[in-house]
């Protein structure tokens, strides 16, 4: 499903955090978003996914405007984000974290528990099967019963990805998936994202590890001081003297 951002503006006082930002994530594409701290990337993510309201502009998903659509409803439509600092339920197991992310479970209502116990059992069995499949896919089966708060940073990022997938996401916004992650797990996360992308799931990825990101995405956008200042294939964007010198502090 295509994600389209048009002329997005968000200001705090006299500061424009996002300033007339326009770009698209075509259905099933892999797109990166980079820029220095304070460029407006995380604010943009929050606006796109409904955690913040824009002052002007429009966000559309699958051709449908998202004005006044809540974050939870956007997630139900298939537009989901993760966070730079994982927000796992630390006291729950990895398995329970994934199960809790599944939407509209019949067992969540008292009426279903009493009036349709058979339906509840069938849904729970299907849910467990889906969770088992994701645990295997994400290489988390061996820690399925471990409290999520005990995991490494990279494993927590995989749990975040798994919870996004449990919602039925069709486009996922990843906020710094490689931050605080060792190189082995960076490659594992990247490989899982590539496999999911091959199944038609689109991604928009904020990341400061430019090497890992440029190997992952097909298109790269650069923000600085709220504005989109460069877009294109990663190699071309990262070779742009303006990007290298003015916005990335120079790259060797």
Could you report the per-residue pLDDT of 232-248, keeping only the tens digit for each? 999 999 998 888 875 55
Range(s) of the domain holding residue 208: 3-88+153-247
Does 135 reside within a domain?
Answer: yes
Do 31 and 140 lie in one domain? The reply is: no
Do 81 and 33 lie in one domain? The reply is: yes
Domain count for the chain: 2
Q: Among 116, 134, 150, give the residue marking a domain's end.
A: 150
Do 49 and 146 lie in one domain? The reply is: no
Do 243 and 161 lie in one domain? The reply is: yes
Do 58 and 45 lie in one domain? The reply is: yes
C-alpha 223/C-alpha 138 separation (Å) is 31
Eight-state DSSP code of residue 84: S
The confidence score (pLDDT) of residue 118 equals 62
Could you report the per-residue pLDDT of 140-186, keeping only the tens digit for each? 999 999 999 999 988 999 999 999 999 989 999 999 999 888 899 99
Do 106 and 221 lie in one domain? The reply is: no
Q: What percent of the chain has pLDDT over 90?
A: 69
Does 79 reside within a domain?
Answer: yes
Do 83 and 98 lie in one domain? The reply is: no
The confidence score (pLDDT) of residue 162 equals 94
Do 163 and 201 lie in one domain? The reply is: yes
Identify the bridge partners of residue 31 per DSSP, sorted by sequence position: 204, 219
Could you report the per-residue pLDDT of 77-94, keeping only the tens digit for each? 999 999 888 788 889 999
**Computed from CA positions of residues 189, 47, 34, 27, in that sequence, does the dihedral angle turn out positive or negative?**
positive
The confidence score (pLDDT) of residue 109 equals 43
Confidence of residue 249 (pLDDT cuts 50, 70, 90): low
The confidence score (pLDDT) of residue 85 equals 80
| pLDDT mean across residues, the chain | 88
> Are the C-beta atoms of 169 and 79 separated by less than 8 Å?
yes
> Are the C-beta atoms of 70 and 124 separated by less than 8 Å?
no
């Amino acid at each position: 499903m295509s994600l389209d951002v048009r002329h997005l503006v968000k200001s705090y006082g006299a500061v424009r955090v996002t300033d007339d930002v326009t770009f698209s994530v075509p259905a099933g594409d892999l797109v990166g978003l980079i820029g220095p701290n304070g460029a407006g990337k995380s604010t943009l993510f929050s606006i796109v996914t409904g955690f913040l309201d824009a002052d002007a502009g429009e966000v559309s998903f699958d051709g449908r405007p998202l004005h006044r659509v809540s974050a939870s409803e956007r997630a139900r439509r298939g537009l989901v984000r993760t966070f730079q600092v994982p927000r796992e339920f630390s006291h729950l197991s990895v398995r329970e974290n994934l199960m809790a992310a599944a939407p509209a479970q019949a067992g969540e209502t008292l009426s279903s528990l009493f009036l349709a116990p058979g339906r509840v059992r069938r849904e729970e069995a299907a849910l467990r099967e889906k969770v088992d499949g994701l645990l295997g896919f994400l290489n988390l089966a061996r820690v399925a019963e471990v409290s999520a708060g005990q995991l490494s940073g990279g494993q927590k990022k995989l749990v975040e990805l798994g919870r996004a997938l449990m919602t039925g996401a069709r486009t996922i916004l990843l906020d710094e998936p490689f931050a605080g992650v060792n190189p082995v797990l960076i490659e594992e996360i990247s490989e899982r994202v590539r496999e999911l992308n091959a199944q038609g799931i689109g991604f928009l990825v904020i990341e400061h590890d430019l090497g890992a990101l440029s190997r992952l995405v097909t298109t790269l956008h650069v923000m600085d001081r709220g504005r989109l200042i460069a877009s294109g294939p990663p190699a071309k964007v990262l070779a742009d003297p303006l990007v290298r010198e003015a916005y990335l502090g120079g790259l060797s």
